[in-house]
Structure formats: structure tokens, C-alpha cells
Chains A and B, each alone.
Chain A
């Protein structure tokens, strides 16, 4: 999110009144991009990773760990670091060094995030596919953490856990602020938990206002030996009367056997590992978007790292649905809880959800794969089509544009600037689907890009590099072998749910396509229309349920799914690759192979077991301050030693 735009944000319902206006200008800007960039060709593979950190603050004397809310100070320190700027790094929203003119290494850059306890870091300039480039990723990630730490206080440390174990418990921030502020109206979190830039509190407040109540983030509690059952969240205050929304808990927002959370920060305060790729042209981008989509839930389950919420062990392993609920701005009518009166349609998914469209013009895309529940703004779609956009892509954007813009600045509504993309981005960037298709921004040479968003951040940079590079290699295998991973979109949606289950990586099965290879017959490439197309069998015969191990490592049966790692290895065997690089890649692939087959544990499993074997744990699902302190301390330790001293060995195996 760009932060430099500043002005007077409209409150709800004023923002609602200009929603159509913003959408229409957004469509005009999108068409301007389309006209300008649809023919953009031959862009190189460039890619970037984003690492998000929680900044924790230790109080060793009292064995406490809290979230540090000094994001602004830390970013200011980074933006004023002359050496960092000189090397091309910095904080783009404030100040950064000359990245484009640099040959050779470029220092990393840092960004604010929604949570005031968060920090994001990206490479100073994008990576390429030169295999030696790939070797630079892990050291760069480590360097980012070192630089971040250098600009923090002695007691602060950047950790890469998806969520802070005791976010929303009393005394969880430094400094401490009272909960129940006017923006979030959360009974657990203060407004100060969010980045103070006006965009963020407005986003939270307008989502709440549009929804007509606070967000409800309910996570099933992990039932341990002594967990009271039925479990009723003991931290909920039913007697709060500061805001109208305090009635939510009295009106059934809290569910038995669930941990209850009530603010955007519980979701948007999660850290993710996101990878963005530049495609050669729009067609390749659309193909990558489609082909990576079914892999999303697999990677979510495989990177599972979120077993704790608000001081309790959860019965799920990943963050996804919590973020989805934390920004769910749908009204009761849109949710189907009330008859449609004021709203235009029922909407099956949150703005943050598994994606609902395929966008490629690939002949292998069968109509049966498309989401039958897709909601589309037909008027806007007609405008896009009239503007020259093809039906498939117009459908995608007209689907994203069913949402209202949440944060609208009054100043931006005066004049439509077709050289800008602010109105388009307003909607595009608040549709948080697991894949994002990004058009070229105006004013520079960047091409069409695809963002892969489902992965959870990992404790160590070794793991983060491994997963980032794995996805890069999968895209290369997809393009080289012309792989076909299409399954019907509802199956991917279902897989995203499955990925939440505790130890889904070990116990659950996911819908996946059996044969990823295209059925090409001889001579077809030279004379595509000479023979009638082979009739296709039923869609249901194309996919089956597979374990994560089968998807990643392959099925053992004849003609079974070959496995993503064998596909990647086969790709690697087709390119010239030096021994040192192949060695490093082998370490990464080995980690992923063993995470998939259960030899090594996911972060979620390790954290859960850490809590359960802690001497202070009472087998009642409660993650107390002592446990939290030891867990975060241990996590920090593991980021430094990566299991080489035996700590966290279950996640890494024996390492040199």
C-alpha cells in the first residue's frame, strides 16, 4: 500500500456514497492501463519476495515479551541511515537511495505495514533467474533482519512468526494503551495497535461501519486434556458499554468452543511470505496466475505456522481465515443473513479469500472449472468489454469491482487522471485474494505481474528462502513443461479450508489434478486446426484427493501425479546449473520434501508441541506469559542458529 497519498478520508457512509464514482473511474484507469500495456512484450523474469516481521520487545527481568509499537521510530531510523541510502536501500515511503542506477548489490528496503508492531522488508531491487541470483536470496533475507535489528532498541528484535502469541491479551504492547478506542472499538486491542497513518484506522473503522458491527474472528480452540468443555472464551467482557458495537458479544458474536477476536488487527497483524513475479507478457502472466492458483492451498498447508491466538492454542494451523474474517466488510444482506434490500447481491466470500476467477485464454481452461457462484458487476464488465478488454479478463476485474472502496480521499474525487491508477488500485489492493494479477504501473518499465500470497512466514530465513525459491522454480517448470494444474475453482476454495486443519500436511487430502501434462498429439503444433479436438472426459476424472506428500513428492503408482519437486528437479536437469547453486537448491528442496512427508515438522506443529511440553503449561490450551516469553525467545534463537545447535531440530533435521 502506498502511503504517500494524504488527504481527508471520507468516513462511512460518506465513502459509500462515492463508491460507484470511484469504481467507474477505477475502470477508466484500468482501461487506460490496458490500452497502454496489453502489448507489452518480452519482459525478463524479475521477482521479489516480501518478508514481514513482528517487532517484539523483551523484558527479561520480568520474563515478559510484548509487541513494540515503535514502527514509526524504527522506520525513521532506517530512512535516516546514510549508509543504507547510499547503498540503494531505505524506506521508499520516506526516503530511499538510488536503486535503479546501481549495478551489483543493492541494500534492502523497508516498508510500514498495517500493524504498528510490524515491519516489511524487500530486496532493494528485484531478483532475476540467473541461478547465482538465487544464491543471493537467503543472505539478503538475513541481511534485512540484521539491518532491521540495528535500527531497533537493545530489547527489541524482529521475529518472523505469523502472529504474536498473546496479541489481544492484557499488557501485550509496549507502550501500553487502553483498549476500546473509537476506530477499532475492540474490547481487546487499543486503536494504537494500527499504523497511525490515516489510511489504516480509516480502513478498520470503515470496514466495521460498512459491516454494521465489529468483525468476528472466531478460531476453534484446541481441545487439550484439561481444556474446559464446552469452552467459553474467558477473556470476553460481556459488560462493556463504551460503544454500540459492544453489544456484539451480547448478540451472539462469541461462539462456544471458539477463541473470539473482534478487530482487523487480529488478522491484518499477521505476517506472510509473498512472492511477486514479472511475466514476459500479459498472456504469460495470465497463465501463471491460473496455474499457481491450485498450488496455493498446498503451500498454505505446507507452510503452516499459526497455532496460537490471543493466548490460546487454536485447533487450526494457519492464519488465512482469521485474516479473511478480520477484513470481512460484508453486510448481513450480502452474507445472506438478511433479505436483499439495500445491497446489490449476496457475496459468498470475504474480500480476503481464495480467488474466484481463472483469467487465462488458455484453451485448456474448460468452462467447468469456473466458479459457478461468481458475482460480477455486469455494468462495469460491459464497460471493460466495450473498451476492448476480452471477456475473461473483464469478468475478473468486474468481479473484484463488486466491492466498495473502503478508504476514499475527498481530494482524489475532483479530477480523473488517466495517467494515475489510484482509483483502480483502491479496489485492486483491497481485494486480498490468494493470487493477485497486477498490471504494469504507469511511468516505468515494469511489466505484468502475478503475486502468490498464501504462504505463511517461516521462523528462519533459510526456510523463507527455501519456499520463495521453490515457488520461483515451480513457475519455471510450469512454463517450461507447459504444465496444467487446472481444477474447478470450488475445489481450490475447499482446499483452502482443508489447509486450516491441524496437521493437515500429515492427515488431510487435497483435490489436485492427476495429470499435469498437456495431451498433445503429433503434428498439432504445426497445424493446430487440422484434426478435430479429442473429446474431453468428465472434469471429475481429471482430479482426485491427494496428500500433501503426494502433491509435493509424487504418487508412487504408475501414471500417478509426478510431484512438484520431481517436476522442479527435472526442470533443473534441463538447464545449465553450477554445482554450488545446485547444492544450495538441494538443501531447499530437501527441506520441502521432508516437510511434506512429515519427516520434518511444520512451524505450527513445533510451536504447538513447544507449548504443550512447557513446564508451565497446564494442558488447558492456555498460552500464558511465561510460555509466550520462552517461545518467542526460542524462536529468536532459532532464527539465529537455524537448528544447528539442535534447537528446533524437528523442523530442520540434523544440520551441519
Chain B
């Protein structure tokens, strides 16, 4: 069973404002807004007498198709279409490939992620797709990439390390997963290039690539990326070689504060868990199923996360921003 979790438009419904310095990486925006969106859909369903057509017999706040549960039900949360003509917007999508998911699934996941976003925003293309690969973390102090190894695949069971990280706790444990080889990255990237060819994506971007990784990667791309997103805690310690290389390549260095492993399995399990454990009641706990809980049983495995923003270009207004997180539920 596939679970499609959504935040709806977090700009106007559930903004998550942090007091911590916002240059610090965090995934609380994702986890907090998922939680908010699901719980308010639960409340909305409770207070509304008639159930919507698409609602699942399992619970009025989710939607169900053959193999997919949409949580919450899109009709309870979908924001309206964009207000201006498509050309007025810069639409940026950031796709987070997660550790322990085989890279062979990425082509399919990319299509799926884009479909979700295009449908949500009511558009037929996006301007920029930034890809976040697992295990790749730019470190301003050490841009040597000396630890770059030629492991063809990240070892899969590392996610267990994160089981202690519960939803709502700040910070990321990004560095544990081994980054994959340049060739493996290029294989994924070629998929993205083909989506540029088909007109679905206008330009491509990367996240957390340091100089040496860029130097190896860029020459082998057919459609070079236009953007590299890096997280720098103190803006003034961006390594000069990176700035120079980026300038020479016409690569724009943008900032971000997303965790690379944005949705560890343990975080998702806690978020979806029973209400008595501060979850939203999608998954069953050990005790009795409470009223309003879905109480599914099984093991959840996050597949990918996608973040989207639609910004009115000449006014700098963020009109829509949100996330989808897709997970597999291996039912017991």
C-alpha cells in the first residue's frame, strides 16, 4: 500500500516559523506541516456532516484508490489554482531521494513526484528541479570531498540509525550515509535531462555539491545544472574555489536549510503513529485503536519527498509552497 502524505499550501495554512537561526538545517517544516495538515483534516471531517465523494470508507479524512491512500484527502486540503497566468511564476521543485531506496526506482519516483506537484499547482511544467541525493553533504570547512568513494550503492540498512530521531526534534543526521558514485549520480541525472527534453522541466539544479564533485560531475552532463544549493551556517565561509568554479560554469549558488535525509523512517513512523504517542493515528499502536484513528498495521518506508514553491516572479510573493511525502506501507 502506498501512502501519499501532503501538507497543502503551508504559506497560508500552517506556516512553521522557527526561532532558531534559519541557516541551520532542519526538517521541522516538513514534519510540522504534515502533522498540521493531517490533524486539521481530521477535525474538518469530524465537524462536517457529509463525507466527500473521494473519501475512503476507512476514514473520512483520507482518500483511497486501488493501491494508494492519500493522507489527508486532497478535497479537504487542496488549495486553489494559482491566481496569475503560469508565466508570472517561478516554480521550483526540490526532490529528495532518500537513503536505502534503490536508485533504480528514481526514474519512477521522479515522474510520480512531478505528477503530484503539477496536479497540485494546476500547471504543466516547472521551472527548476533541484535534486537532493542521499549522503551528499557540502561541508564549508572541508570542501575536499576526500571521503568521496566509489561505492556504487549506499548500504541499505543505515536508516536504523535514525530510529531514535522522532518527529518534531530539530536537526538532521545527514552524514551517516555514504554518498554514491559519480556514475550512479549521472545515471539518475540522465533521467532528469530527458524530462527537460520533454519540456516538463525548464532547468535542473543540484544540492550540496562541493567543488570536486562538481568538477567530476559537470563535464559528463548533457544539460548542465544551473543551480547548486548549499547550506552554509555562516555565509562568509563559502570556499573561494567553489565560488570561482560556479561563476566560471554559470552555476548559481543558492542557499537552503533542508536536511538531506529529510524524512528518516523513524521520524515518519512516529509522525504516523498512534495519538497516544503524539502521532496522527494513521498507524496502530500496541494498545486499542482510538476513535478517529486509522490504525493501520505494518512497516512504513519513506520513498521520496518533494517540496514545491510557486513564487510570483516580479513581486517576490510566495503564493504556494508545500510538500508531498510518499511512503510504502508493508502491511503485516
Chain A residues packing against B (C-beta within 8 Å): 42, 44-45, 128-129, 280, 476, 479-482, 517-518, 520-523, 525-526, 531, 553-554, 556, 562-563, 566-567, 569-579, 582-583, 586
**Is A525 in contact with B314, judged by CB distance below 8 angstroms?**
no
List the 7 closest pairs (A to B, CB-CB), nearest first: A129-B316, A583-B235, A44-B314, A522-B44, A562-B17, A480-B318, A569-B22
Interface-located stretch among B8-16, B167-175, B290-298: B8-16
- B 275-323 contacts with A by CB, 8 A: 309, 311, 314-319, 321
**Complex: how many Å from CA A574 to CA B256?**
9
Interface check B68, CB cutoff 8 A: no
**Is B232 in contact with A476, judged by CB distance below 8 angstroms?**
no
**Is B11 in contact with A480, judged by CB distance below 8 angstroms?**
yes
Distance between A218 CB and nearest chain B CB, rounded to angstroms: 42
**Is B316 in contact with A575, judged by CB distance below 8 angstroms?**
yes
Given A129-B315, A579-B230, A572:B17 Cβ within 8 A: no
Q: Which of A480, A521, A569, A571 is most buried by chain B, counting CB atoms within 10 A of its CB?
A: A480
Given A42-B84, A523-B75, A525-B80, A566:B315 Cβ within 8 A: no
**Complex: how many Å from CA A525 to CA B78?**
8
Give me 10 other A-B pairs in contact (C-beta within 8 A), A526-B80, A563-B19, A573-B256 excluded. Answer: A476-B316, A521-B40, A522-B40, A523-B76, A531-B47, A569-B22, A570-B18, A575-B309, A577-B255, A579-B232
- B 32-56 contacts with A by CB, 8 A: 40-41, 43-44, 47-48
Q: For residue B77, which residue of chain A has the nearest CB? A: A522
Distance between A196 CB and nearest chain B CB, rounded to angstroms: 42
**Complex: how many Å from CA A532 to CA B22?**
38
Interface check B227, CB cutoff 8 A: yes
**Complex: how many Å from CA A305 to CA B73?**
54
**Is B316 in contact with A525, judged by CB distance below 8 angstroms?**
no
In the assembled complex, 22 residue pairs joining A and B whose CB atoms fall closer than 8 Å, in A order, are: A45-B317, A476-B318, A479-B315, A480-B11, A482-B11, A517-B15, A520-B12, A522-B13, A523-B48, A531-B48, A562-B17, A566-B22, A570-B15, A570-B18, A571-B318, A574-B309, A575-B309, A575-B311, A576-B227, A578-B253, A579-B230, A582-B255
Count CB-based A-B contacts (< 8 Å): 114
**Complex: how many Å from CA A531 to CA B76?**
13
Q: For residue A480, which residue of chain B has the nearest CB? A: B318
**Complex: how many Å from CA A578 to CA B227?**
9
Q: For residue A133, which residue of chain B has the nearest CB? A: B316
Contacting residue for A586 out of B16, B78, B235, B315, CB 8 A: B235
Interface check B116, CB cutoff 8 A: no
Q: Which of A517, A572, A579 is most buried by chain B, counting CB atoms within 10 A of its CB?
A: A579
Q: For residue B15, which residue of chain A has the nearest CB? A: A481
Contacting residue for B255 out of A280, A566, A570, A579, CB 8 A: A579
**Complex: how many Å from CA A526 to CA B8?**
13
**Is B128 in contact with A576, judged by CB distance below 8 angstroms?**
yes
Chain B residues within 8 Å of A518, by CB: 12
Given A129-B316, A480-B317, A523-B77, A573:B227 Cβ within 8 A: no
**Is B41 in contact with A522, judged by CB distance below 8 angstroms?**
yes
Chain A residues within 8 Å of B153, by CB: none
Chain B residues within 8 Å of A525, by CB: 79-80
Q: For residue A477, which residue of chain B has the nearest CB? A: B318
**Is A570 in contact with B315, judged by CB distance below 8 angstroms?**
no
- B 209-260 contacts with A by CB, 8 A: 227, 230, 232, 235-236, 238, 252-257
Given A482-B12, A517-B15, A572:B44 Cβ within 8 A: no
**Complex: how many Å from CA A42 to CA B47?**
38
Interface check B139, CB cutoff 8 A: no
Chain B residues within 8 Å of A567, by CB: 17
Chain B residues packing against A (C-beta within 8 Å): 8, 11-13, 15-19, 22-23, 40-41, 43-44, 47-48, 72, 75-80, 84, 88, 90, 92, 128, 227, 230, 232, 235-236, 238, 252-257, 309, 311, 314-319, 321
Chain B residues within 8 Å of A481, by CB: 11-12, 15
Chain A residues within 8 Å of B76, by CB: 522-523
**Complex: how many Å from CA A566 to CA B19?**
6
Given A521-B44, A523-B75, A573:B315 Cβ within 8 A: no
Q: For residue B92, which residue of chain A has the nearest CB? A: A576
Distance between A188 CB and nearest chain B CB, rounded to angstroms: 47
Q: For residue A479, which residue of chain B has the nearest CB? A: B317
**Is A573 in contact with B230, judged by CB distance below 8 angstroms?**
no
**Complex: how many Å from CA A17 to CA B8?**
61
**Complex: how many Å from CA A570 to CA B318?**
11
Chain A residues within 8 Å of B319, by CB: 480
Q: For residue A567, which residue of chain B has the nearest CB? A: B17
**Is B235 in contact with A579, judged by CB distance below 8 angstroms?**
yes
**Complex: how many Å from CA A525 to CA B44?**
13
Q: For residue B257, which residue of chain A has the nearest CB? A: A573
Distance between A456 CB and nearest chain B CB, rounded to angstroms: 26
**Complex: how many Å from CA A518 to CA B75?**
20
Chain B residues within 8 Å of A572, by CB: 22
Chain B residues within 8 Å of A579, by CB: 230, 232, 235, 238, 253-255
Distance between A227 CB and nearest chain B CB, rounded to angstroms: 42
**Complex: how many Å from CA A520 to CA B9?**
11
Distance between A470 CB and nearest chain B CB, rounded to angstroms: 14
Chain A residues within 8 Å of B15, by CB: 481, 517, 570
Chain A residues within 8 Å of B316, by CB: 45, 129, 476, 575
**Complex: how many Å from CA A291 to CA B80?**
24
Chain B residues within 8 Å of A44, by CB: 314-315
**Complex: how many Å from CA A44 to CA B128?**
22
**Complex: how many Å from CA A394 to CA B238?**
54
Chain B residues within 8 Å of A520, by CB: 12-13
Chain A residues within 8 Å of B128, by CB: 576
Distance between A142 CB and nearest chain B CB, rounded to angstroms: 21
Chain A residues within 8 Å of B79, by CB: 525
**Complex: how many Å from CA A577 to CA B309?**
13
Q: For residue A574, which residue of chain B has the nearest CB? A: B318
**Is B317 in contact with A556, judged by CB distance below 8 angstroms?**
no
**Complex: how many Å from CA A577 to CA B257?**
12
Distance between B272 CB and nearest chain A CB, rounded to angstroms: 19
Given A482-B11, A521-B40, A562:B314 Cβ within 8 A: no
**Complex: how many Å from CA A566 to CA B26?**
14
Distance between B10 CB and nearest chain A CB, rounded to angstroms: 9
Q: For residue B18, which residue of chain A has the nearest CB? A: A566
Q: For residue A570, which residue of chain B has the nearest CB? A: B17
Chain A residues within 8 Å of B8, by CB: 522
**Is B41 in contact with A280, judged by CB distance below 8 angstroms?**
no
